[in-house]
Amino acid sequence: MSQRTCLSVILAAGEGTRMKSAVPKVLHTIAGLPMVAHVVRAAEAAGSGDLALVIGHGADEMRKATQKLAPKAETFVQDRRLGTAHAVLAARDAISKGYDDILVMFGDTPLIDPEVLTVARRKLAEGAAIVVVGFRTSNPSGYGRLIEKGGKLIAIREEKDCTDEEKKITFCNGGLMAVAGKHALQLLDQVGNDNAKGEYYLTDIVEIAGGQGFDAVAAEAGFENVLGINNRAELAAAEGIWQTRRRHEAMLSGVTLIAPETVFFS
């Protein structure tokens, strides 16, 4: 993987109104570090040499924070929120530089394991044009389903559009994607907004790619990796998961924690 160039496009333009805070959502902290910084660290650990941060709400504050957290990152402003594909295309200038791999990540998924990103990049190296990170759950209600056929991913179907049979699928869309750089802009530019919300959905590129003979595949990850934070209760839950992970790692490394639940890392 060290021979392949990689750009991570981190979407961080959301207003985060459910946080009920003047602070941009992705700047709320877990273990003393802004959520988006956890995402940046994961991207870098997975070999992403360059970063493009798509911002919107609180742009000035986000720029200042980015200079401290990821001084080499480029920032791009999404002036209007017209969907995830529209957000990714805000970073067109960065994408057009010609990377081997494009990782599309979200600034509010701070628990992503770098190994998940590495696996996605590896699948691109093996010939896939798109890799979608998914998770399995016994209660898939509300999630988009990953529709596979013959080992390939042929569509991502929102629940409201699923047939009764498709609703039984427990493999769900986690949102994160890896896209072959040579195809990225070509696929993104074909995404339309002929849907109820009039938005440009990143998920549409799976079917677009299939129609052009490109392979899309899924990569499975644990639900925690794609857990998005939307309110303070979820923020606290993510903090708990992060702390549990670090306590476990510490103990496996030989650290004695008499009462692990009383120890907090930062």
> Is 193's pLDDT higher than 70?
yes
Catalytic, out of 18, 41, 63, 245: 18
Q: Could you give the angle at which helices 114-125 and 35-45 cross, rounded to 10 degrees?
A: 40
Q: What is the DSSP secondary structure assignment for residue 144, as one 8-state letter?
A: P
Architecture of the CATH domain 6-256: Alpha-Beta Complex (3.90)
Q: What is the pLDDT of residues 213-255, one digit of tens each?
A: 999 999 999 999 999 999 999 999 999 999 999 999 999 999 9
The token duo for 244 is 């549990």
- The beta-strand segments (E) located in the chain are 6-12, 29-30, 33-34, 50-55, 74-77, 101-106, 130-136, 145-149, 152-157, 171-180, 216-220
The token duo for 203 is 């998920």
Task: Summarize the confidence of residues 32-50 as an average pLDDT.
Answer: 96
Which residues are 9's β-sheet partners? 52, 104
Give catalytic status of residue 121 as yes or no. Answer: no
Q: What is the pLDDT of residues 9-26, one digit of tens each?
A: 999 998 889 999 999 999
CB 124 within 8 A of CB 131: yes
